[in-house]
Amino acid sequence: MLPADITESVQRALAEDLGSGDLSAALVDPRQELQARVISREAGVLCGQPYFEAVCIQLSADLRVNWNVSEGAEIVPNQPLCDIHGPAAALLSAERSALNFLQLLSATATQTRAFVERLRGSSTRLLDTRKTLPGLRLAQKYAVRVGGGYNHRLGLFDGILIKENHLAAIGGIAPAIARARALAPVLTRIEVEVETLEQLDEAVAAGADMVLLDNFSVPALREAVARVAGRIPLEASGNISLDTVAAVAATGVDYLSVGSITRNVQSLDLSLRYL
């Protein structure tokens, strides 16, 4: 499913870049047409085609984009990704915003796919977090799905995650869960973050729907899985890297969440060349 805010996100990006108008593109003959090609400079997972196309469409309905690879495809260096043809001024104005979306979302999908590949053969699913770039949450969570991961909460409105600061303010796990049951809409999932096995036992006894095991060691994760014995889902989180993700999954946790796939992204190197 495509994000509902693609048009709005693209409008913001273009307003930020163009302001009152593209002074450089105004130098170009309005009747002139150009053709360009986007080429990859490094390997990765291509993501962001709907955003790229939306940038072009918003600047000119006559800009045409023809893709050579599909969304979510793995790409290699020097691979032609798409060709664009249409009014020169619109194409010149679209270039940076269109590439920004494509490079950022491809980077997010690429990072996600790398983790997913390390999970191959296990039943553990990779979740994203709310550690996204401001204003681009739905875009990055879309890229996570394209990369093979799963979305956790979209925001604070569609699930309850009781963390250590909530527990400090409310006075403990049991009263926090009881208050959540009383106030939350029906069927809202209540998840509790715990830091010890004793807190895990308390959260399960208090009726948590899911527990986040924060910065547990691999042996502690195994013990947590054994104690819960499948009664509720368990999520591991905290400093999980590509080097450790397979070992975490091998403990039997149902999910693991990684903030770096959306927070610590380095844009994929893509280039737009005029033909």
Say whether 131 is catalytic: yes
CA distance 146 to 102: 13
Tokens found for residue 116: 């997913």
CA distance 255 to 265: 21
Say whether 96 is catalytic: yes
Coil vs helix vs strand at 222: helix
Whether residue 208 contacts residue 194, with contact meaning beta carbons closer than 8 Å, is answered with no
Locate all alpha helices (DSSP H) within 60-136, ordered by sequence. Answer: 88-118
* Structure-token match 């940038």, residue found: 55
Say whether 153 is catalytic: no
Whether residue 235 contacts residue 257, with contact meaning beta carbons closer than 8 Å, is answered with yes
Whether residue 45 contacts residue 146, with contact meaning beta carbons closer than 8 Å, is answered with yes
Name the catalytic one among 214, 222, 223, 269: 214
Tally helices (H) and strands (E) across the chain.
10, 12
Say whether 193 is catalytic: yes
Say whether 189 is catalytic: no
Q: Is 243 left (phi over 0), alpha (psi -120 to 50) or beta?
A: alpha
Name the catalytic one among 64, 130, 131, 179: 131
Name the catalytic one among 37, 64, 96, 263: 96
Name the catalytic one among 193, 202, 235, 254: 193
The residues annotated as belonging to the active site are 96, 131, 163, 193, 214
